[in-house]
């Protein structure tokens, strides 16, 4: 996986901005849902679906595809918007988020929409699901270089099942499973370090015998490099800690935990779209 050129970074940035606009519009239309997580994970979603993954939107069930397991299912508006922009279904369908009869419910349902690999809602289950998929792949001696990307929130690490899963992941040396933790430092009741402190998260994970890579979750070069390093690790699994800004892209919302679980009003949505558009195409290259 070669380093990104400035042109490629610019293209990914513009794509992510389109996706963030769609997230705001769909949340305003729905009148409910989560704002902070979908916005702060947009760059991760964009890097995966427009750069990293083996996938085919025209054939979502392609047997050799990589898998994206969304453990923190409440941020699914970000995944829905990314899938739509990647061509899995029409962008116009995003307006049906959380409506009766919609395929786009508040938490993902695997059989309702192409591109969804799991049903999620209760936190803490995704890594177990990814491990199960990878173990089955190993038992079946699956030939293609398939990877299982498990997207997780830092708040869900309050759930003990995750730490049992980390133990199992290391026991079986499942290097094809790549957990990516959204370290945005918030959860629905406040800031993670006030509710149940996680730091030093890197030290904790290294004590479980993982390679741990910390990145800026909004830097496309960081994201691509980290995934490349994780794929190169043959001796033990890698966990990526992606440091993100809650509600990234909307300065009025950024960093405020209260946006974890609420949607913008019409007026707030207009402010958010104006702020997103004011930053259109402005990229800092490292």
DSSP 57-88: TTSTT-TT--EEEESSGGGHHHHHHHHHHHTS
Angle subtended at Cα 219 by Cα 215 and Cα 224, rounded to the nearest 5 degrees = 75
User: Residues 66-87: pLDDT tens digits?
Assistant: 999 999 999 999 999 999 999 9
Confidence of residue 284 (pLDDT cuts 50, 70, 90): low
Task: Identify the pLDDT of residue 280.
Answer: 82
Q: From CA 12, how far away is CA 281, in angstroms rounded?
A: 10
**CATH for 6-278, options being 3.40.50.2300, 3.40.190.10, 1.10.3210.10, 3.40.50.970:** 3.40.50.970
Give the percent of the chain with pLDDT over 90: 93
pLDDT the model gives residue 143: 76
Indicate the pLDDT class of residue 192, thresholds 50, 70 and 90. very high
User: Of how many residues is the chain composed?
Assistant: 286
Q: Tell me the average pLDDT across 183-208.
A: 96
| 78 vs 177: CA distance, rounded Å | 21
- Does residue 84 contact residue 50 with C-beta atoms inside 8 Å? no
pLDDT 10s digits, 132-176? 999 999 999 877 789 999 999 999 999 999 999 999 999 999 999
Which tokens belong to 94?
Answer: 């995003």
Q: Measure the CA–CA gap between 260 and 263, rounded to whole angstroms.
A: 9
Biggest CA–CA distance in the chain, Å, is: 54
Query: Which structure tokens are listed for 90?
Result: 């029409």
Report the DSSP pairing between strands 211-216 and 238-243.
Answer: parallel
Q: Is the dihedral of CA 91, 92, 98, 104 positive or negative?
A: negative
Q: What is the pLDDT of residue 285?
A: 60
Residue 3 has pLDDT above 90, yes or no: no
Interior/surface letters 200-237, b for 16+ CB within 10 angstroms, e for the rest: ebbeebeeeebbbbbbbbbbbbbbbbbbeebbeeeeeb
- Asked whether the bond before 18 is cis by omega within 30 degrees of 0, the reply is no
pLDDT of 55 above 70: yes
pTM (predicted TM-score): 0.96
Report the chain's mean pLDDT, rounded to a whole number.
95
């Amino acid at each position: 996986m070669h380093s990104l050129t400035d042109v490629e970074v610019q293209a990914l940035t513009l794509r992510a901005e389109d996706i963030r606009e769609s997230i705001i519009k769909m949340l305003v239309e729905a009148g409910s849902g989560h704002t902070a997580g979908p916005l702060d994970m947009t760059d991760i979603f964009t890097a995966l679906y427009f750069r990293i993954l083996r996938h085919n939107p025209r054939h979502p069930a392609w047997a050799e595809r990589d898998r994206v397991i969304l453990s923190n299912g409440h941020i699914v508006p970000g995944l829905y918007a990314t899938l739509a922009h990647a061509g899995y279904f029409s962008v116009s369908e995003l307006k049906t988020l959380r409506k009766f009869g919609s395929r786009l419910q508040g938490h993902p349902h695997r059989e309702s929409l192409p591109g969804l690999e799991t049903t999620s809602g209760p936190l803490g289950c995704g890594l177990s699901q990814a491990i199960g998929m990878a173990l089955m792949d190993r038992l079946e001696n699956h030939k293609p270089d398939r990877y299982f990307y498990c997207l997780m929130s830092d708040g869900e690490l309050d759930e003990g099942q995750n730490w049992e899963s980390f133990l199992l992941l290391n026991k079986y040396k499942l290097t094809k499973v790549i957990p990516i933790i959204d370290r945005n430092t918030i959860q629905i009741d406040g800031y993670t370090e006030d509710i149940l402190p996680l730091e030093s998260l890197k030290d904790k994970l290294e004590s479980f015998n993982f390679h741990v890579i910390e990145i800026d979750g909004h830097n496309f070069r960081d994201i691509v490099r980290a995934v490349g390093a994780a794929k190169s690790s043959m001796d033990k699994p890698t966990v990526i800690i992606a440091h993100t800004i809650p509600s990234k892209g909307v300065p009025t919302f950024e960093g405020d935990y209260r946006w974890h679980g609420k949607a913008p009003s019409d007026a707030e949505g207009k402010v958010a779209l104006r702020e997103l558009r004011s930053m259109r195409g402005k990229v800092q290259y490292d």
